[in-house]
């Protein structure tokens, strides 16, 4: 008698298949381009570049795995790591959906809610990109208008400011330490910029968890 596969088993099976398939497809493109044009990589330069950058990405990948999965759930994590833009889009979408549904990411209901929210976000993002590609040429004069430049410069601050108000207002005691940490780091460490967000988000999460644990032990939460 064939045993029926549980929902979580099917999530891990399908997630593994699709993630490995996407990894193969992503690696296949440069291989095919090289074969078509008869251009191979400079292996010495490739290895030197890999040695310089791989350890950082391994560390970030390890930290993100332990940071994001408890918040996104298994299904949402598989989907997010394939579609990307986790900290800017997928994570806020999933957390908001879980908040609205009043479920935890670790529950089966939370798994379903998080996965659906991230899937819809990915579809909407893809549709917007398609529309943007189609309209980019006729809209270029309007988008390049000097009057709109200040607005475009404030898109990300407005997005994260709105999200920050929601979550900080709910847990203001927990938010104090990470906000101070990030302000100090980005003000006094010039090397930190928009390109380091992928690293600083997991660092901030680990720091916040550690501080929250201390506050909880001291009875302040």
Angle (CA) 44 48 52, round 5°: 170
Angle (CA) 196 197 203, round 5°: 95
What's the burial of 2, exposed, middle or buried (CB within 10 Å: 0-12/13-18/19+)? exposed
Please give the full DSSP string across 50-117, using - where no structure is assigned. Answer: HHHHHHHHHHHHHHHHHHHHHHHHHHHHHHHHHH--IIIIIHHHHHHHHHHHT--TTSHHHHHHHHHH
The residues, any chain, with a CB within 8 Å of residue 18's CB and separated by 6 or more, are 78, 82
3-class state of residue 217 by DSSP: helix
Q: Residues in the chain, how many?
A: 221
Tell me the whole-structure pTM to 2 decimals: 0.66
Which of 37-46, 71-80, 152-161 shows the lowest per-residue confidence on average (mean pLDDT)? 152-161
Q: Is 98 within 8 Å of 76 (Cβ atoms)?
A: no
The Cα 29–Cα 211 span in angstroms is 44
Q: What is the pLDDT of residue 174?
A: 86
Each residue's pLDDT tens digit, 4-33: 678 788 888 988 998 999 989 988 988 898
Flag whether pLDDT at 83 surpasses 80: yes
Q: Is 76 within 8 Å of 70 (Cβ atoms)?
A: no
What value does the mean pLDDT of the chain take? 83
**The two three-digit tokens of residue 195, written as one number:** 């390109």
- Cα distances from 212 to residues 92, 107, 110, in angstroms, run 20, 23, 23
- Can you tell me which residue has the tokens 């809209």? 139
**The two three-digit tokens of residue 107, written as one number:** 């529950």
Q: What is the pLDDT of residue 1?
A: 46
Q: Is 92 within 8 Å of 100 (Cβ atoms)?
A: no
Q: What is the pLDDT of residue 123?
A: 93
Summarize the confidence of residues 30-43 as an average pLDDT. Answer: 87
């Amino acid at each position: 008698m064939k045993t029926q596969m549980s929902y979580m088993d099917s999530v891990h099976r399908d997630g593994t298949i699709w993630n490995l398939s996407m990894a193969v497809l992503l690696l296949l493109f440069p291989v095919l381009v090289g074969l078509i044009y008869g251009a191979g990589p400079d292996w010495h330069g490739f290895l030197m570049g890999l040695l310089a950058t791989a350890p950082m990405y391994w560390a970030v990948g390890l930290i993100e795995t332990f940071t994001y999965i408890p918040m996104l759930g298994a299904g949402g994590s598989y989907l997010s790591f394939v579609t990307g833009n986790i900290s800017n889009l997928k994570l806020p979408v999933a957390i908001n959906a879980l908040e609205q549904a009043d479920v935890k990411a670790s529950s089966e209901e939370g798994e379903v809610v998080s996965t659906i929210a991230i899937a819809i976000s990915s579809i909407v993002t893809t549709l917007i990109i398609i529309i943007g590609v189609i309209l980019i040429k006729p809209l270029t004069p309007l988008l390049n208008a000097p009057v709109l430049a200040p607005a475009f410069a404030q898109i990300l601050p407005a997005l994260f400011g709105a999200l920050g108000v929601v979550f900080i207002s709910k847990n203001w005691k927990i938010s104090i330490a990470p906000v101070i940490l990030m302000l100090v780091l980005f003000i006094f460490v010039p090397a930190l910029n928009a390109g380091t967000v992928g690293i600083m988000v997991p660092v901030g999460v680990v720091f916040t968890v550690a501080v929250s644990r201390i506050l909880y032990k001291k009875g302040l939460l």
